[in-house]
Amino acid sequence: MTDAYDNDNIFAKILRGEIPCHKIYEDEHTFAFMDIMPRGDGHCLVIPKMPARNLLDADIETLGVVQATVKKIGTAVMKAFSADGLTVQQFNEPAGGQVVFHLHVHVIPRFDGVKLRPHTGDMEKPEILAENAEKISAALK
């Protein structure tokens, strides 16, 4: 059984504009932005605007709009970085690797022969995140 949704999680604060981010895309139901601790160049996140702790408590409509945006962002990431592939990850509950308890999907462009960087907590330089966000946003057009 999952715990209750926390309205003060970092992604809820990003959605309310209380914490800055490098936004890529937004529509009525979803929001996409750069991961500040990327495991690869172009690593970004897609989240629903609706409060949902994770896949286990999100309704089917929310899951549907999130996946539609994941496809849109994944296609743009592939184009923006001339990637060879794409890794899409989603974690649920601490035992499943979830750290932030707002439903989110990792979208990571992949390149032949290049391993994912470890999740060390090292933050990327803001100027690089801004540049990568612009590349992806431009590829959406």
**Bridge partners of 105?**
46
- Mean residue pLDDT across the chain: 95
Give the model's pLDDT for residue 2: 60
pLDDT in tens, 98-141: 999 999 999 999 999 999 998 877 899 999 999 999 999 999 98
Strand-by-strand arrangement of the 23-26 sheet:
23-26, 30-34, 44-48, 105-110, 85-89
Give the model's pLDDT for residue 119: 82
| CATH value at residue 131 | 3.30.428.10
Residues carrying an active site annotation: 104
In a domain, 2, yes or no: no
DSSP at 22: -
Instruction: Kindly tell me if the per-residue pLDDT of 1 is higher than 80.
Output: no
Give the model's pLDDT for residue 122: 85
In a domain, 1, yes or no: no
Give the model's pLDDT for residue 37: 95
Instruction: Kindly tell me if the per-residue pLDDT of 60 is higher than 70.
Output: yes
State percent of the chain over pLDDT 90: 93
Residue entry with tokens 């989110």 = 104
Total-model pTM? 0.95
Structural domain count of the chain: 1
In a domain, 3, yes or no: no
Give the model's pLDDT for residue 120: 78
In a domain, 123, yes or no: yes
Domain with 29, as residue range(s), is 10-140
In a domain, 67, yes or no: yes
In a domain, 4, yes or no: no
State percent of the chain over pLDDT 70: 99
Contact 62, 103 (CB under 8 A): yes
